[in-house]
Structure 1
Amino acid sequence: MAHRKKTLGGGLPELRRALADAGAGAAGWYEVPKSKKAPKQARKAVEEGAEVLFVWGGDGMVQRCVDAVAGTAVTVAIVPAGTANLLATQLGIPRDVAAAVDIGLHGERKRYDLGKVDGEHFAVMAGAGFDAALIEDADRSLKRRAGKLAYFRTALRHVRDAPVGTIVHLDDELWFAGDATCLLLGNIGTIAGGIKAFDDASPFDGRLEVGVATAHGALQWARTLARMSTGRTDRSPFVRMASAKRVYAEFTEPVLLELDGGARKPVKRLEAEVAPAAVTFAVPRSR
């Protein structure tokens, strides 16, 4: 499953050669012009009997494919050809076509939890508010020119975004009520730039990490991001954190939503839950 606009090494021709050299040259081949076209093709591959689904692309492409195959026996093998590649980095998959193919064919198979927001699965993190706004603002052209710096540049545009009235229930108990600038749900704890948003996140514990940020303005966000970069995030005075199996949130006005770095439509409410051991990834055997 290949996002034809993404590049890595010698591009898709190198991927074809690597698969052929490994004896998998006769495998089904699916290309899409954008990640939102991937789920239909991924489901088709499953219906045709695929056992391993190679995904060439970034976190958004991987998320779309993972959502399509969640709950099946198909193994997802990532070839990280995106900008941030957060999930591939966490899984220990290098930005090397031949090495990624070898892991996909011969690596360890391991079941991972997923998060699920309003019926759609994510592997790393979902966010509403500040996080989603800066991701949507870091459009494709800017990401191509500036890479990971795109996220930090766009963050500067949103540090003064007004807080929104937010209510969050965790496992049916009221947990937060007040003004907030960001709600994060984490399955894996690291975000763009290598910043650890959730120090205790684990994709094997059957829970989602939950964080609410109340930071507003350049100074408070600078303090919050500095704490995230140099110490435990939960020690910031502008962050509240917990974990849960189910999350329900309401907002007084629509806020942008993102799943694994892919912007979605604004929402005034969301329901999330953990999907335990919902997908199999191919990972290096040393892990």
Structure 2
Amino acid sequence: MNVAVIAHAGKSLGGGLDELRRVLAREGVETPDWREVPKSRKAPKQLRKAVEAGADLVFVWGGDGMVQRCVDTLADTGARVTLAVIPAGTANLFASSLSIPQDIAAAVRIGLSGTRRRFDLGKVAGEHFAVMAGAGFDAAMIDDADRGMKSRAGKLAYFGTAVRHVGDDPVQATVTLDGTQWFSGPATCVLLGNIGTIAGGIEAFDDASPFDGRLEVGVSTAQGALQWARTLGRMAFGRTDDSPFVQVGSARKVKVRFASPVLLELDGGARTPVRKLKAKAVRAAVTIAVP
């Protein structure tokens, strides 16, 4: 194998990147194509260079943002390259859903000798995502956490910013699934899921699968602390679609229109506000090394 490493230099796990070098060397990978970036948005350029240089296995060191940037790049290029995740981020939702541990040696072994599987991705606003995209409450919560709190408090930052946004006003939204209007009304959050698990191991979408060629779609109408607490409690201890404040569906193609601009997020990374979205499931878009 021709092995490359794309590493977010600001992320840490175990003994850090020095330990990753040592583990790879013990496994016989002494001179990988090593590329570090200061921000996840710098990863696509380095990944394309690694692929052009002949890499067929790429270790991605970082969190969900790094994974998203890398799967988006591979899906766009169509390169038949295997991605292996070293979960060195804050939430690591994608790695957790695949049972990839936060252990450098174990994650490296999965990358070198684990099973190769082709995963579906979602695509919205021109970008692919591996886990989930959202507009409204969750995007505002993530954006706030990224403004300094996450670097200081880690996962706890999301709880702090969630409390700050539970009182946000709803926005009139219309959601169309595979050409049929499915929802119209005030919404505080619209989620598109490729994989169902969110922070804390909570199943936002109980039936989500990255192998069925479909996206799960959820609309929340919850307002205020009490309704959001009931919604999250139902997600944690029952089925999300049992909540009176959530409507859940599934589709290959999704269109969303908002009455006013709403902040968008992809796999935990905030994007610019949008008034309309077009999303779709992309079948077997990327190869991932799994246990």
TM range (shorter): over 0.9
User: 1:161 aligns to what?
Assistant: 168
Contact 1:46–1:69 at 8 Å: present in 2 too?
Answer: no
Mapped pair 1:41 → 2:41: no
Contact 1:245–1:274 at 8 Å: present in 2 too?
Answer: yes
Residue identity opposite 1:236 in structure 2:
S
User: 1:188 aligns to what?
Assistant: 195
Alignment of 1:137-148 (within 5 A): 137-139=144-146, 141-148=148-155
Mapped pair 1:247 → 2:282: no
1:264 shift after superposition? 0.5
Mapped pair 1:227 → 2:217: no
- 1:206-253: CA deviation from partner (whole Å, max 9, x where unpaired): 100000000111111111111111100000000001000000111011
1:97 aligned to 90, 95, 104, which one? 104
TM-score (norm 1): 0.97
Aligned residues: 284
Mapped pair 1:173 → 2:177: no
1:24 aligned to 26, 29, 51, which one? 29
Bigger drift between 201-210 and 20-29 goes to 20-29
* Cα distance in 2 between the residues matched to 1:66 and 1:9: 24
Alignment of 1:1-287 (within 5 A): 1-70=6-75, 71-139=78-146, 141-284=148-291
* Cα distance in 1 between the residues matched to 2:156 and 2:17: 26
* Cα distance in 2 between the residues matched to 1:149 and 1:11: 22
Which runs of at least 4 in structure 1 moved beyond 3 Å after TM superposition?
none
* Structure 1: segments with no counterpart, 5+ residues: none
1:145 shift after superposition? 2.8
* Structure 2: segments with no counterpart, 5+ residues: 1-5
1:140 shift after superposition? 5.8
TM-score (norm 2): 0.96
- 1:23-53: CA deviation from partner (whole Å, max 9, x where unpaired): 1122211110000111111111111111011
- 1:98-131: CA deviation from partner (whole Å, max 9, x where unpaired): 1111110111101111000022000000000001
* Cα distance in 1 between the residues matched to 2:147 and 2:162: 16
* Cα distance in 2 between the residues matched to 1:205 and 1:118: 21
* Cα distance in 2 between the residues matched to 1:157 and 1:46: 42
* Cα distance in 2 between the residues matched to 1:228 and 1:92: 21
Q: In structure 2, the residue corresponding to 1:60 is in which secondary structure? A: helix
Q: In structure 1, the residue corresponding to 2:233 is in which secondary structure? A: helix
Q: In structure 2, the residue corresponding to 1:30 is in which secondary structure? A: strand
Q: In structure 2, the residue corresponding to 1:138 is in which secondary structure? A: helix
